[in-house]
Structure 1
Amino acid sequence: MEFRPRSYGADHDSHVLPSVPTDNHPLAAPSISDIQVDAVDLGNHEFLDPLRGLDGDAKAIPFDHEIPSEAASYPPTKEWTSFRRLLQQRFPVSKMVSLSSVPEVMMRSGKSIEKSSTSMHIEELDDPQKFSDDEVKVIAWQEYVSRLHELKDEIAHSWLVDDRITSLKLSVKVAKLLMDTSILQFYPTLFFLVTDIMDMLGDLVWQRIKQKAEFSTDGTLLCNLPENFRAADICSDAKETCNNWFSKIGAVRELLPRVYLELAILPCWRFLLDEPLDSLKRLVMMARGLGDPVAFAYCHLYMAHCAQKLPSLDIGCLFTCLNDIRVILIRILSPNETIYGDKKKLFISLMEPTIEYVMNCIFKGMSQMQISDVLPELGLRKNQQSSGSVTYVSVVLHHLLKELPIEVIFSNTIEILHLIECSKDKSYDQHMNYRLLGFRLNERRCSYDIAKAVIDKIIQVVEQYDGLHEYLKVVDAYADLILQNRMDNLLNTILEGISRRACKGVTEDEMLSLQNLLMKLLSHFTRLEYVFVLNHFPEILDVTHGSTRNVVFMHILDMATRNCRIRHPTTIQMLFEISQTLHDDMEFMNVKEDNSHVSRLISRFVHMVDYGADLERHLAFLVDCRGAFSRLDELKETLVHSSNYLAIQALTSKKHLNLVKSCVTFSEITVPSICAQRRQFDLLLETAEVSLLGGLFSHSGELIDSAIDCLQSSDIMDGYRTQADVGGLVSSITKLCGLLVMVPGNFSQGFTYFPSKLFSVISSQSWIEPKLRIRTFSAIILLLTTLSQDKLPYHANKEVLGNDTLYYGNLSYKQELVSLANLILQNLVNVIQQEPLLAARGTMALEACNSIASSFKISDEVLAVCVSLFETAKSCLDARDRYLQSTIQFVEKQLPASARASLMSSI
């Protein structure tokens, strides 16, 4: 066999497309030069790519365009359902409920229910208690709930069979359950279960009266009531039925069930009155007779819910409810009050949802003019001290602040601050109201004057706090205002206050607040250097610990590596210490993804560090990183890349040849510590290339030797079994073959030491699949062909002699190349037959044939091999396969005319 002679220069010239200069972008439309573009200087020197231009038919979207969103408020049923779910989550129920007495209605006897009759007198609606008050019953709350669901079904069933007296009787008994507040934590759940039944009864009564108003007794349609019907539109029969229901409910003895039942059918007053609001006002007055504060509050909660069903609502009733609750709260909070003992906070916590819901109902759908009218009722009056008109309880004020429109808050900020200052009771922590005001002011950009006035006052307030917890809660809410308005002096004051209070130690709750504040601070600044120079920032950073410290540190690293190179020595040192802390904490992180994220951030930090011309200092930094981050494989890869990059930079000056050697040595030492054999292989090749460019032949030889040794490990494909992974390894081996073109041969080891070793390793490893072997063998054959040429296609540099110079005219050199090529060729054909998949085998045969025809002159011996490969391909592929046909044509071109007919006849 004989290698084909190649002229790489001639081949290059024959394949290069002719090029001509142009003034326009080649992909631009013909009229692109006519488009006027207002260029924006982005501070960099990027060219204006016409492909980034807007399409001609595209329309610009204004910045103030608002995307349609969901409605601001849900329909009442959805709003009530959502509120109910949140409240039940807030007050979860224990598995068992201990009751002083279990009402008969909750017992599963059922017999007493069936014997009711429509002729029973109304006094029979109230059954006496069957158990003594001092007897304690324990019942599973699931059973309690299940029984209430059964009662709901029984009420509905009785109604369907026209036994409406039984439905009312059971509803009264269910409503009576709300009189028992002995289990406070269970009361919210009980409330929603009972009111669900009340709502169902109210709907049933409404539908019955409406049906009587629209149809006669024989089913004749009398009228279709409009949605805004009036009492005059209702027939006398329907009015009589409606009056009868209110009379029956009015006869209920106990106040609480009577109020609940009338609230359930409250909308039915529309059949009797055009203005049913008077009835609602009467019920508000009646509810003042409820002595238990929890029962009182939840009755008002249901009152507010039912009031939403009326066509119009006078918010005066809601104000009355709110004031009545406020009076109860003031009594509970009184230092002279001893009835509630140490349960005052629990009572207030249970009553708070009513305040929240009623306040929401007051402001829902209220116009700006209506809000202005009610401001005096809220104690927010211009040019007047508010404390003289309304005495606010902190918890009420809190929910007022949540509901007030932001415009009202902006225009009444000083008055609101005064209200908060005057509300010092224990129903709600005062600092949380200051905090809420800060968050509300952040909802929209407020003027500098308002921000300055508020923050000056807040600084005076928080300076009185000795503890870090309250201090952080408040200043966290105003941090955005301070940062947006560039109040640097106030920012320093806050940081000094945090530092002074944090020196005593930081609890877990305080740590979360501190984390929020630090994240805001970091997010505000575009450059990390601006943060590090802030007074007291390093001291505050030092007191962080645990997950908070890790979150903040990761954010700092992300911020530092987001845009530009890191050059300032102080910044590099601080980031190095931060990275070291994160690295040391990795074993305590529970989530694997966190470790991966930390590894990526540290690697990116090391990659972004730039010491400029001081390459020695940069290499010393890499050495420090290798010692500090020993468990991060990803970081080690970055270190090798960075070290090799430094070596390339040093090659621009011959004065730095020692540094090149140091960098290569650093990489040589670092690569073996990386666990993944595949990554070792690629990094060894990269370092070998760098050392070859630097003229370090001994280093490059040792690195290539080590890289080939990596292929002897089955771990090199550990976790890499997909088609893409195999292709990636083939590309790396092909790169090795391309690198060997520049490596001078060694007389002591033999001219073909590296190609022979590579062939031997690939042949001996049982885990290597036939496809990988074929492509590797083909790459080695092409390498041998290249090395046989009188002039190599490329060299390491002008000072490194290639094999075309070292062995020019040496016959033993070329004979050794041919001998190795012949051995590989024999193995090539045998390996193809080992591939079990026909399609893959056919493609491999064609790949091998192409490499053979490209490498050797077509002699009889070579032609016989090609014909054998063609026959294999034809047996595995369709005869019309395009790859098969193009390969045949390629081989045919290499033959003399006399041999072409013979080739075609043989295949």
Structure 2
Amino acid sequence: MASQIVFKEKDYEFIYKTRAIQLQQTTDNPLRLDRPKVTIQRGRKANVQIRTKGNFVDPLSRAATQKAQTNPLSRPQTVDPLARPSAQPTQKIEQSQPQAQARSVEPNKPQQQQQQQEGKLEIDAEEKQLKATGEFSIYWSEIRDDFQNIFQIKTYDLEQPVPNPFGSNVQTMNQFDGQAKSAYSGDSKIEYQTQAPKQGTSKMIQQKTYIQKVLDIRRDLKRQWINGDKVASLQLAIQSCKLLIDNDKPLFAPVKYVYIIDILETFGKFVIERLLKLSYPQYTDQKIAEISLQSVVGSNISETASEIGRNWINKIGSIRELLPRLYIEATLLKVYYFIDQTQIKPIFQRLIKQVRAIGDYINALYFALYLFRIGAELFSGEKDYLISTLKDFFIYMNQKNKFGKLDVQGDQYLRLFEPYLIQTFRQYSQNCTEREFKDIFEHFRQSTQNHFVLKKMIEQFQAVHISTLALELFSIMQAYPVDNKYQLYACFLPKIAKGLTNVAAGAEICEYVLQDILQIKSFSLFLEILASLIELIFRSFQGYQKNQFFFLILQRFNDLFSMVEKDQVNTNQSKDTFIKLHQFIIKIFQDSQDISEILQIDTFITCIQFFPEDMKKLVCNDLLSMIINRDQKEKITDPMAVHSIVKLTANLNNKKSITKDEQKGLAKIINQLLQKIDFGKDLEQTLNLYAEMRGQFGNISGLSEILIDRALDLIFRGKRLSKGKNQKKIISFYQACIAYSFITIPTIDNPISRLRKYIQVAQVGLSLNLLSQSEAVIKTTIENLLELPETFNGRPIDEIVVPYILDLISFIIVVPDDPSAGYLNIFQGLLKALEQLKWNPKNGGIHSIVIYVNCIQYLCAQVQERLPYHFENVKSNDALFNKDSQFSLTILELVQQLYVKLGEQAQAILKSNITDSIENGLIVKQMLSCLNRLLLLLKFNKEAETTFAIMVDLIHKKINELNRDRTGKVQLTILKAYFLQTFINIEKSTTFNFEEKKNQMVNILESAKN
């Protein structure tokens, strides 16, 4: 190994003098030369030039004979936010400022807060403008976003003090010692780090002010370039790079780095665009922006572009400071495409090596990061330079006594290099082969194996690469402290879950991780690692082993939560924990191929019960939605899983505060869940589930209707399974279904829905030949008629209930009566209920007439030798009382009673004063229908003649009333044919004499037509 070279002090002096002679340089910095004084001393016609070896003219020098131009560093006077506002000249401001030992006065806090807010708004506005315009290349934008996200620059504490490299104020030419404008003045620029602040100025400024000054430099650079002063733009770029040298505040280095590199990006873009326009003068700006530098060839490059390019390169030699010279050279590296493209790679490699010459390691790696941005654009396939700087970084990390700064040490200092590590691994991972990944891992293995570096490596490389060395990486993690190990689990486990093909290796890793997490006492950390472990568990285990894993995990959570006091549940920290637990549970469901396996875990439901009420509803709703939205063919058959679903659903039903809309939504969810549940041939298990649902959700009326329909459907499923055989066991099941439905109906809020369900259940019961149960339901239906309200949804109840009463009358035709209870006991009970029903005074009479006519029709059906229809295996009244004379007499008596009731109702309508044409038209139409039906059903007798006379008088009256207005005449015209046919039927079937009234009514009908 070569011995280390040691330079003595005399050696440094010799090298310095030799270099100065060779380059014909003075000890003065040409960038700091006081050119205005030199120009004034030698006269306005003097030609001040500084030459270097090779007879190159100093590009920053100006001939005094040139026309005076605006100072490139000058800009409109701005008020120093740290100085007191005053209209006096700068000199007076400095005199009036307090001395260092003077007692300071605390500024007004509201005003200070306003100034701070204004500064942040200005910086935010600049950021938004950059995002909107897309001014930077994708290569720098990617790195820039890393800085923004890592160091939270947008929300950075910009009130912290940093050294002031700018002086008191930005001085203009008129403020510089009263001298007149000259061609160029170095002293009129901002006083940067190379010169200490003047006496009386603040040595520290806020970071907000610092950034605002840098943004001002960028604006000045753009303005000078647009005005044609390219040299002034270069000077501003150089001066901005000088700001990077001082890192007395290391935590501020990333912040200022972002905004200073923005300046270099803008400057480099201007230079290249100018050279492209000179080489392609025929192209538009848009087409110029689309040109790739790799496509630039010698035949397209104009001599002017080449000469200007060489001029830019020559200007680099005038920069004395190392760091600014390296940054400017890297920024202008693409200029070699217009000079000699073969020089690009050697120069780039030299710049990579020169990273080692930068003493401050923050500056060194940040400069390397800038080179990576250039390398990504110019040498996208090469990775050697990435490994080179990474090895240097590892060597530097080994020097523990030098790794860090006075006030920043350890992980806090290492975090400053996070953007560098991210970009290194990100570029290296692009099109990375397995061999290349193993090489970089070997370099890491030979380093200090820092957990932070390993974390960034795992995050940036693809899962397939991490999985190839999963066990090796995991063994390294086991040597880390517990906290560091847990951080790595969060990024390592999801990676290997996606790319690991060795199931045995995955199972081994899961076993070790489980042992670690069962020792965790922090909710947040516990859940963070769990979210990463789930997918690997699903890929590494099946069946019982997998469920056992989840059982242990959830049991540990329950143990952790049981140690938390109740008053700590609603704290912000607890809410964050529950959010992570929510995500964990959702992750389990998403990755599970069979959710029944998860629902069978005992501790699963217990875990959900720990959530606060509002979050518990959200979690349950999400889980139930995931169950519903899975493949429709996937059915849930396990009773334990179904029981868990019922408990999840019950958490959504707060009986005290649930709203109507929430009830509808919950009923819909439960209905969809019931479609997913299938116990196969075990119908009793299904009925038990419905009973459990009724107990949990009896307050949801809409669900009660759904459960009744499903219970009745079970009956017909049972008939299909039994193939129509009425075995004792299946009959008992039928009875249980009818009883379940009968008991559930009262939980329905809607009275009409209750009436409809009663009739439906009675019909199903009779179809099964369950006579006693069907009769009980019918009697309850009749009793329910008397409990109906007078109105429903703003309508009279009789208008709504008439169709259901007619349906009930049609149904009880085939319902056999109990001989021990008397003839037609069900029908007679219905008649009594109709008498007590609260009919609407307006049109209740006509509705009752319609019902009574249907009752007569029922009685006429009962006297037939065979009823018009039957239920299978049900013996109706035609079979029970076919030759019973007493049965026939009872029917005749009831018919006579109904005739009387018809007459009473018709007489009541006749006496009423109804003038509405629509109502009168309805009355006439219903009366004509009733007359025709009665003529078909019964023979004409004395009682019938009385009723007929009243009904004809009623029709005659209503015709007269309808003929009085246009609407009534239209209705008469429509019903004319119906009238005439009814008159013919009356004449054929009766001896009733109504010739006079018939003629009058015919005349009215004719007049209505005209």
Query: TM class, shorter-chain normalised?
Result: 0.5 to 0.7
Give the structure-1-normalised TM-score. Answer: 0.66
- CA deviation map 1:356-406 (0-9, x unaligned): 233223333x3x6xx3563453136xxxxx766565443333343344345
2:308 counterpart of 1:241: yes
Q: Is the 8 A contact 1:619 1:643 kept in 2?
A: yes
Q: Which of 549, 552, 575 matches 1:494? A: 549
Q: 1:539, 1:173 → 2: CA distance?
A: 65
Q: Is the 8 A contact 1:483 1:524 kept in 2?
A: yes
Structure 1 equivalent of residue 64 of structure 2: none
Q: Is the 8 A contact 1:359 1:403 kept in 2?
A: yes
2:686 counterpart of 1:686: no
Classify 1:178/1:661 alpha carbon distance in 2 versus 1 (closer, same or farther; 3 Å): same
Q: Is the 8 A contact 1:582 1:598 kept in 2?
A: yes
Q: Secondary structure at the match of 2:377?
A: coil
2:347 counterpart of 1:279: yes
Which sections of structure 2, spanning at least 5 residues, go unmatched? 1-133, 283-290, 562-573, 720-725, 766-773, 813-825, 863-867, 879-886, 933-950, 986-998
- CA deviation map 1:274-331 (0-9, x unaligned): 1312333333334445555555554444333333332666322233344444555565
2:747 counterpart of 1:670: yes
Classify 1:78/1:236 alpha carbon distance in 2 versus 1 (closer, same or farther; 3 Å): closer
Classify 1:335/1:473 alpha carbon distance in 2 versus 1 (closer, same or farther; 3 Å): farther
Classify 1:459/1:475 alpha carbon distance in 2 versus 1 (closer, same or farther; 3 Å): farther
Q: Which of 155, 158, 173 matches 1:93? A: 155
2:291 counterpart of 1:210: no
Write the letter of the residue equivalent to 2:791: Q
Q: Is the 8 A contact 1:100 1:134 kept in 2?
A: no
Q: 2:697, 2:540 → 1: CA distance?
A: 41
- Structure 1 residue 810, shift from structure 2 partner: 1.6
Q: Which of 128, 148, 166 matches 2:232? A: 166
How large is the Cα RMSD of the aligned pairs? 5.8
Classify 1:614/1:419 alpha carbon distance in 2 versus 1 (closer, same or farther; 3 Å): closer
- Structure 1 residue 205, shift from structure 2 partner: 1.1
- Structure 1 residue 456, shift from structure 2 partner: 1.6
- Structure 1 residue 683, shift from structure 2 partner: 3.2
Write the letter of the residue equivalent to 1:100: V
Structure 1 equivalent of residue 388 of structure 2: 320
Which sections of structure 1, spanning at least 5 residues, go unmatched? 1-73, 217-223, 381-385, 718-725, 764-772, 834-843
Structure 2 equivalent of residue 722 of structure 1: none
- Structure 1 residue 460, shift from structure 2 partner: 3.2
Q: Is the 8 A contact 1:263 1:303 kept in 2?
A: yes
For structure 1, which segment, 861-870 or 491-500, has the greater mean C-alpha deviation from structure 2 after superposition?
A: 861-870
Q: Which of 764, 769, 775 matches 1:695? A: 775
Q: Is the 8 A contact 1:643 1:667 kept in 2?
A: no
2:553 counterpart of 1:451: no
Q: 1:83, 1:452 → 2: CA distance?
A: 39
Q: Which of 480, 486, 494 matches 2:535? A: 480
Q: 2:142, 2:660 → 1: CA distance?
A: 36
Write the letter of the residue equivalent to 1:198: L
Q: 1:345, 1:854 → 2: CA distance?
A: 96
Q: Secondary structure at the match of 1:97?
A: coil
- Structure 1 residue 238, shift from structure 2 partner: 2.9
Q: 1:354, 1:805 → 2: CA distance?
A: 107
**1:388-427 pair list within 5 angstroms:** 389=446, 392-417=449-474, 420=477, 424=480
- CA deviation map 1:666-719 (0-9, x unaligned): 346534xx5xxxx3542354235535762124421232333x31x536xx47xx
Q: Secondary structure at the match of 1:100?
A: strand
Give the structure-2-normalised TM-score. Answer: 0.60
Write the letter of the residue equivalent to 1:166: A
Structure 2 equivalent of residue 837 of structure 1: none
Structure 1 equivalent of residue 295 of structure 2: 228
Q: Secondary structure at the match of 1:137?
A: strand
Structure 1 equivalent of residue 493 of structure 2: 438
Q: 2:923, 2:249 → 1: CA distance?
A: 85
- Structure 1 residue 777, shift from structure 2 partner: 9.6
Write the letter of the residue equivalent to 2:775: G
- Structure 1 residue 645, shift from structure 2 partner: 7.2
2:840 counterpart of 1:759: yes
Structure 2 equivalent of residue 10 of structure 1: none
Structure 2 equivalent of residue 816 of structure 1: 901
Q: Is the 8 A contact 1:80 1:305 kept in 2?
A: yes
Q: Secondary structure at the match of 2:775?
A: coil
- Structure 1 residue 267, shift from structure 2 partner: 1.8
- Structure 1 residue 498, shift from structure 2 partner: 2.4
Q: Is the 8 A contact 2:637 2:678 kept in 1?
A: yes
Larger radius of gyration: 2
Q: 1:182, 1:849 → 2: CA distance?
A: 104
Q: Secondary structure at the match of 1:757?
A: coil
Q: Is the 8 A contact 1:96 1:138 kept in 2?
A: yes
Structure 2 equivalent of residue 906 of structure 1: 1008
Q: Is the 8 A contact 2:425 2:456 kept in 1?
A: yes
- Structure 1 residue 751, shift from structure 2 partner: 6.7
Classify 1:212/1:499 alpha carbon distance in 2 versus 1 (closer, same or farther; 3 Å): closer
Classify 1:778/1:502 alpha carbon distance in 2 versus 1 (closer, same or farther; 3 Å): same
**1:604-623 pair list within 5 angstroms:** none
Q: Is the 8 A contact 1:117 1:165 kept in 2?
A: no
2:197 counterpart of 1:130: yes
For structure 1, which segment, 338-347 or 351-360, has the greater mean C-alpha deviation from structure 2 after superposition?
A: 338-347
Query: Relative contact order (alpha carbons < 8 A, sep ≥ 6): 1 or 2 greater?
Result: 1
Structure 1 equivalent of residue 420 of structure 2: 354
Write the letter of the residue equivalent to 1:753: E
Q: 2:709, 2:695 → 1: CA distance?
A: 17
Q: Is the 8 A contact 1:106 1:147 kept in 2?
A: no
Q: 2:347, 2:321 → 1: CA distance?
A: 18
Q: 1:867, 1:192 → 2: CA distance?
A: 97
Structure 2 equivalent of residue 467 of structure 1: 520
2:151 counterpart of 1:104: no
Write the letter of the residue equivalent to 1:229: V
- CA deviation map 1:456-507 (0-9, x unaligned): 2442354345326666655644543443455446535634652564464057
**1:764-843 pair list within 5 angstroms:** 783=851, 785-789=853-857, 790-791=860-861, 810-817=895-902, 819-820=904-905, 830=915
- CA deviation map 1:611-649 (0-9, x unaligned): 999999988876765665576555555566667778999
Structure 2 equivalent of residue 61 of structure 1: none
- Matched residue pairs, number? 760
Q: Secondary structure at the match of 1:759?
A: coil
